[in-house]
Amino acid sequence: MSNKILIFGATGAVGSSLSKLLKGSSSDCHLIGKNEEEVSNLANKTGHSFTITDVLEDNFIDKVEQDLSGSEVSGIAYCVGSIDLKPINLISKKDVLKCFSLNLFPLYDIIKKFQQNLKKNKGSIVLFSTVAVKQGFPNHSIISPVKASLEGLTVSLASELSPYVRVNCIAPSMSNSKMANKILKNPKIAEGIAKQHPLKRLGEGNDSASLAKFLLSDESSWITGQIIGVDGGRSNIG
């Protein structure tokens, strides 16, 4: 029975790209998502096993463990995310808690459930933040602090789980995705955002997924506790 890499948020731009990049590799994948049709279609295309569940459900991690049927876990990619943009005067505590509940809290259940498996298999964990933590933008007072907490979790876990498990975080800039469609569906807005990047284009799911594949592999065996920008240069030279 082969080891599994768990991909949470498997039908998003990054998660689906990662699942396709890992098709046929030495590491099998287990896809986790809430849209049954999208997850099952992706699983049929890639040959990966899957679980239909929502990370906001109380028992989501038990469903994942049950569907793994005893398979070992050697990697986790938490590709779940959100774009929560509001001016500060419109933000409620409920807004912030909702964002934490999706982007951060489920990771505690995931890590606690599989940390022994990951240690046994010298595994790797890849999380996802945002360029907006390092470079401030208006209306990001929900998502930026939440993702900053996730970056803090990255370095804390990297220390706590070393030398057995590597933990790294990818921080993308604006990328083409279903999640970003509300913003990018206007061609002029999309073009304007693209021009704000030194490389003069928007990101694609494959940009972050390619790095995630590397970080999940033994080729990155001396990399842990890092926050790595995949942002077209925007965080440092934008």
pLDDT in tens, 112-163: 999 999 999 999 999 999 999 999 999 999 999 999 999 999 999 999 999 9
C-alpha–C-alpha distance, residues 129 and 152, integer Å: 10
Residue 115 located in a structural domain: yes
pLDDT in tens, 57-111: 999 999 999 999 999 999 999 999 999 999 999 999 999 999 999 999 999 999 9
Residue 152 located in a structural domain: yes
CATH code at position 11 = 3.40.50.720
Secondary structure letter of residue 50 according to DSSP: E
Residue 130 located in a structural domain: yes
Residue 181 located in a structural domain: no
Burial of 136 (C-beta count, 10 Å sphere; 0-12/13-18/19+): exposed
CA dihedral 40, 143, 74, 162 (to 10 degrees): 180
Supply the range of the domain harboring residue 136.
Answer: 4-175+205-237
Residue 198 located in a structural domain: no
Query: What is each CA distance from 19 to 36, 133, 215, in whole angstroms?
Result: 16, 27, 14
Count: domains in the chain: 1
- What pLDDT shows up at residue 100? 98
Residue 144 located in a structural domain: yes
pTM of the model: 0.96
Phi, psi torsion values for 50, nearest 5 degrees: -160, 165
- Kindly indicate the confidence band of residue 26, based on its pLDDT and cuts at 50, 70 and 90: confident
Residue 223 located in a structural domain: yes
pLDDT in tens, 201-211: 999 999 999 99
Residue 89 located in a structural domain: yes
